[in-house]
Amino acid sequence: MKFLTDLPSGTDLSTELYVGDRDHKLMILEDLGECGPLMGLLQGDVEEETIEAFERFGALLGQLHAATFGRERKLNEIKANLGLTSLPLDNASRDIRTDRPNLKSHFEKLGVETSNGFVEELE
């Protein structure tokens, strides 16, 4: 969070971290209001909302990449100060193959064409 909140002013790409205590594993963050997870949109039936949400997500992700480009040294400093050798990742370890039966329909809802055999190759 510190890495993202320390981005240059005018870069509003993350929630505000109000206070944190590592020993107590406590973080108090800005409330972002009512918004569901992206996976919920993929599994929903409202195609227009899904496409709009993913377009916004893609635009914000691009802005985040642009804003953080070249700042790896700063991120490594923050990690070192916290005693981290790697970043803990929430569902980065989730195996996409577990949702393989629904994957093709998710892509279809987004209008994303996949090559023949793509989903089957995820084994």
Condensed to tens digits (0 to 9), the pLDDT of residues 18-43 reads: 888 878 888 887 776 666 777 777 77
Range of the domain at 44: 2-87+94-112
Identify whether 118 is part of a domain: no
Of 75, 71, 61, give the one whose Cα is nearest residue 13. 61
Identify whether 119 is part of a domain: no
Asked if 97 and 122 touch (Cβ cutoff 8 Å), the reply is yes
Identify whether 121 is part of a domain: no
Highest average pLDDT, of 32-41, 55-64, 99-108, comes from: 55-64
Identify whether 80 is part of a domain: yes
Which whole number is the average pLDDT over 73-90?
Answer: 75
| Cβ-based neighbours of 47, under 8 Å, separated by 6 or more | 109
Identify whether 64 is part of a domain: yes
Q: Check residue 96 and give its pLDDT.
A: 67
Identify whether 123 is part of a domain: no
Would you list the DSSP string of 11-47?
---S--EEEEETTTTEEEE----S---HHHHHHSS-H
What total number of domains does the chain contain? 1
Identify whether 117 is part of a domain: no
Identify whether 120 is part of a domain: no
